[in-house]
Amino acid sequence: MKLYWSISSIPELANLPKEKRIEVWRACHPKDIKHWQTWVLFGFLGICVFLGMSIGKFYIRIIGQTIGFVIAFCIWFMIFWQIKVSVVRPHIREYLSSYGKTN
């Protein structure tokens, strides 16, 4: 499985100039809100943060709660980003085929 670290690592956008890459991403990324995966991930965020804060508070009290929150959020965000990219990639392909790579 390929991991996407930024929009420049997405294969459809990798060969585009930076300005065009950003333009295409901004046009396509809001379309993921219509997919069920996005909503499941937002629910999963609440669970991750709750568990991270609870475990951190149990072991180290207040500072542990903050550390647990940060760790849980980072783990959630990595999962969120990978799924977001996989959901947005078809929209990027559609955008590029509709508007052309040079427009």
pLDDT digits over 30-63, tens only? 887 788 887 888 888 888 878 777 777 777 777 7
List the structure tokens of 11: 């294969």
Residue 6 covered by a domain: no
Query: In b/e form, how buried is each residue of 60-85, taking b as 16+ CB within 10 angstroms?
Result: eeeebbebbbeebbeebeeebeebbb
Q: Are 28 and 95 in contact (CB under 8 A)?
A: yes
Q: How many domains does the chain have?
A: 1
Task: Domain of residue 41: give its range.
Answer: 37-103
77 within a domain of the structure (yes/no): yes
Instruction: Identify whether 63 is part of a domain.
Output: yes
Task: Answer whether residue 5 is part of any domain.
Answer: no
| CA 9 to chain CA centroid, nearest Å | 13
pLDDT band at 12 (very low <50, low <70, confident <90, very high): confident
**80 domain residue, yes or no:** yes
Predicted TM-score (pTM) of the model is 0.74
Does 47 fall in a domain? yes
